[in-house]
Amino acid sequence: MSADFTINTKAITITADSKSKVYGDVDPALTYSLSTVLVSGDTISGALSRVVGENVGDYEINQGAVNVSCPNNYNITYVPADFTINAKSITIKADVLNKVYGGVDPALTYSLSTPLVIGDTISGALSRVVGEDVGDYTINQGTLDNSNYDITFISDDLSINPKALTVTADNLYKTSGNADPVFTYSITNGELETGDSITGVLSREAGEEIGEYAITLGTLTAGDNYSITLASGSFTINSVTLNAIIGINGIDGEVIESNIITATVDNDVDSLDLNFIVEENVDWAIYSDAECTNLINGTTISNLAEGENTYYIVVTPENGEQATYSLTITRAEKSNGWIIVLIISIILAIGGVATYFMFRFKIKKAK
């Protein structure tokens, strides 16, 4: 009696190897391992495959076309594995940026450590710490992203720099002995932002001697958001000067405008009586010498010599500034016996203070 001799299929397991690559790279070869050795002469042909896709993620490796040369002789079990696409590492570095206080933010830009895969872009935008005063503000990654990349972000700063203002001081002066005026100025370059203002005052070089002094920035400021440059401007201390109208009404009606007062008298006139009419707080004094040291008491000038007799009248109005007028009386030949009254009117405008000062003198005939 006969019986069957059965040859059963050989069990074999094909196990796919796990594989990976970095996003954007070429796939590596897909490999596998066998659980047992094939019978001599048998072979395996074909290639594994994987699920299609190029974004970061896991893709199953399939048996694909892998098979033995005599498939009826083998019972194949296939064990899949994953093909992993890992994110591409990239460094994004924020660019150093700046703007001037009050200006619009520039576009927040950055640089990449390596190029992106062709066709890719980084979406979103950088952001920065909120603030508009002068200072440094950190630039952050914001919404910048691409899921196929492992982003390392290096921050930097957006600097807000002070806004430049040029302030031009007005040229000012005073007369020696007076108080300084208020130092004024105008903004000649740049402008203040809405709501901002300049505080403080200008100053000047120290000194009270006659001459020119530089005007300095003093305490003038618009705050830390501005950089103020002071342009030009000088302060001059002048000597005591007069803008005076001196009218001498002589016999012939002639009016002489000068701070040198002259008159001619006859030979027989040897003295003058001066009659001063002055406003309140105006002082005067008469001296016989140019140095104004020999004071003549009273209002009578006596002992006129023949020829020129010069006297000096010092007028001090209420603001304390002094002016000196010379009075020259020329004694001529014999007088006809007239009595002549000369009225001298002086209107002073010294340092902006108007002062009225008048005196008259009467010529006496010599006895």
What is the mean pLDDT of the segment spanning 334-360? 47
CATH: 3.40.1350, 2.60.40, 1.10.10, 3.40.190. Which one for 245-365?
Answer: 2.60.40
pLDDT of residue 319: 63
Q: Does residue 6 register a pLDDT over 80?
A: yes
What fold does the segment set 10-86 form as a domain? Ribosomal Protein L9; domain 2 (3.10.430)
**pLDDT tens by residue, 287-300:** 888 888 888 877 67
Neighbours of 361 (CB within 10 A): 24
Q: Closest Cα partner for 238 from 183, 324, 180?
A: 180
For 216-241, write each residue's pLDDT tens digit: 999 999 999 999 999 978 898 876 43
Per-residue model confidence (pLDDT) at position 196: 97
Q: Which residues contact 57 (CB under 8 A, 6 or more apart)?
A: 84, 85
The pTM score is: 0.60
pLDDT interval class at 335 (50, 70, 90): very low
pLDDT of residue 282: 65
Q: What is the largest CA-CA distance in the chain?
A: 198
Phi first, then psi: give them for residue 249, nearest 5 degrees.
-95, 100
Q: pLDDT tens-digit profile of 188-206?
A: 999 999 999 999 999 999 9
What is residue 307's three-state secondary structure?
strand
Predicted local distance difference test score (pLDDT) of residue 331: 82
- Would the pLDDT of 341 be above 80? no
* pLDDT > 70? residue 144: yes
**Model confidence at 365, in pLDDT bands (50, 70, 90)?**
very low
Say whether pLDDT at 25 is over 90: yes
Percent of the chain at pLDDT exceeding 90: 57
Residue 245 has pLDDT above 70, yes or no: no
More confident residue, 352 or 97: 97
Write down the domain spans for the chain: 10-86, 89-161, 164-238, 245-365
For the ranges 16-30, 190-204, 298-312, the lowest mean pLDDT is seen at 298-312
pLDDT digits (tens, 9 = 90+) for 34-61: 999 999 999 999 999 999 999 999 999 9
Rounded to the nearest integer, the mean pLDDT of the chain is 83
- Model pLDDT for residues 166-178, shown as the tens digit of each residue: 999 999 988 777 8
Give whole-number Cα distances, 112 to 94, 126, 148, 149, in Å.
9, 14, 15, 12
Nearest CA-CA partner of 283 in 360, 216, 194, 355 = 355
Task: Check pLDDT > 80 for residue 348.
Answer: no
| Cβ atoms of residues 346 and 245 within 8 Å | yes
**Predicted confidence (pLDDT) at residue 321 exceeds the cutoff of 80:** no
- Exposure string of 232-256, with b = 16+ CB inside 10 Å and e = fewer, is ebebebeebebebebbbeeeeeeee
pLDDT band at 256 (very low <50, low <70, confident <90, very high): very low
- Mean pLDDT to the nearest integer, 348-352: 44
User: Would you say 284 and 297 are in contact if contact means Cβ atoms under 8 Å apart?
Assistant: no
Could you please report the per-residue DSSP string of 36-56? SPPPTT--EES--EE----SS
